[in-house]
Structure 1
Amino acid sequence: MKWFGALLILAASTWLGFAAARVLHERPRQLRQLKAALRALEAEVMYGHTPLADAAMHLARQTAAPLSELFERFAAALCTEETSAAEAWEKSLRAVWGKTALKQGEFEVMKQFGATLGQYDRLTQQRQIALALAHLEREEAEALDNQARYAKMAKSLGVLAGLLLVILLM
């Protein structure tokens, strides 16, 4: 029975370490998806002259979860509610943010970007998208650095913490 408990403790701590490493791996991937979505939004608005709600629905179909849900909620809010684009964006952002691996810095960038949605002409909107992309580039570089630095450590720490706990309890 002792060995079963020890094995269970070791498995749980290892799982926690791998879960922490997975979050570190997901953040750069989701940032790349977000940047691609913003570029697609720029193309839809600038060159396709697509209304914002339709562009958001197109992006929802092109983007993987959980970011697709952000654009789905945004499009639905624009179509069904009597609200501004900025309010619909922030509401959608808050509803989906907890499901992502993204951090507060990215939230602030996306919140500031959403505050400008639909308020300016196409050229100014293009500049706002470029500004958001530049900020996300910086955040992605930081996320890649953190992933390289801490992902392997998180896995090892999970295993070693489990071993330590098993040794102390035996």
Structure 2
Amino acid sequence: MVELVGATLILFAGTMIGWQQAARYAARPRQIRQLIHALQRLETEIGYGFTPLPEAIARSAAHVPEPAASILQAVNGRLSGSGELTFRESWEAALLDAWPHTAMRQPEQSALVRLGHNLGISDREDQMKHLKLAVQQLQFEEDAARHDSARYVKMWRSLGVLTAALIVILIL
């Protein structure tokens, strides 16, 4: 009886690990799409609304889903919290804090860090160009993430179950 319960727990744990990895692969394209939407909204606020950058970030954060909203809210909080940090420092610190809670990877983070280096230091048209460039880079990464998702989601689900089954067979 104890062996049966142990085997069931091992199968359950292996299956859940596989499904969790598959969920991360499936969440990545969705989160990149949400981030693209947030940047496009920010571009609209800056370019057509003539909104100052901190206010544009706050407005954009209010209208986008997580995790993009939490990144923008963290930037806005750091900007309004202390006048000691520059925009670039606030942007990078917010990215570093929020990034572990996302399914996104290093290429997306690099694109956003590069964007943070250029926002807030130039005129409106230049900021819009940098936002468009970041959106294009993220769209490329989204395509790659969709390809990875289609390729690896089924594999991770199956691998979790099969690895757990192998462990149960070896133990019994």
Aligned to 2:58: 57
**Cα distance in 2 between the residues matched to 1:59 and 1:24:** 26
**Cα distance in 2 between the residues matched to 1:52 and 1:123:** 13
What TM-score does the superposition give when structure 2 sets the normalisation length? Answer: 0.96
**Cα distance in 1 between the residues matched to 2:77 and 2:160:** 42
Aligned to 2:70: 69
Superposed CA deviations along residues 29-84 of structure 1, whole A, max 9, x for unmatched, are 00000000000000000111111111111122112222211111111111122222
Aligned to 1:14: 15
Identity between Structure 1 and Structure 2 (%): 38
User: AA paired with 2:140?
Assistant: R
Q: CA deviation at 1:100?
A: 0.6
Aligned to 2:161: 159
User: AA paired with 1:38?
Assistant: L
Aligned to 1:37: 38
**Cα distance in 1 between the residues matched to 2:53 and 2:124:** 12
Q: CA deviation at 1:126?
A: 1.0
**Cα distance in 2 between the residues matched to 1:131 and 1:99:** 25
Secondary structure, aligned partner of 2:101? coil
**Cα distance in 2 between the residues matched to 1:121 and 1:132:** 17
Q: CA deviation at 1:146?
A: 0.4
Aligned to 2:81: 80
Pairing 1:123–2:125 present: yes
Aligned to 1:132: 134
Aligned to 2:92: 90
Aligned to 2:25: 24
Secondary structure, aligned partner of 1:36? helix
Pairing 1:104–2:106 present: yes
Secondary structure, aligned partner of 1:63? coil
Q: CA deviation at 1:98?
A: 0.7
User: AA paired with 1:111?
Assistant: V
Q: CA deviation at 1:27?
A: 0.4
Structure 1 unaligned regions, length at least 5: none
**Cα distance in 2 between the residues matched to 1:142 and 1:64:** 22
User: AA paired with 1:123?
Assistant: E
Which stretch has the larger CA shift, 115-124 or 73-82? 73-82
**Cα distance in 2 between the residues matched to 1:151 and 1:169:** 27
**Cα distance in 2 between the residues matched to 1:120 and 1:103:** 28
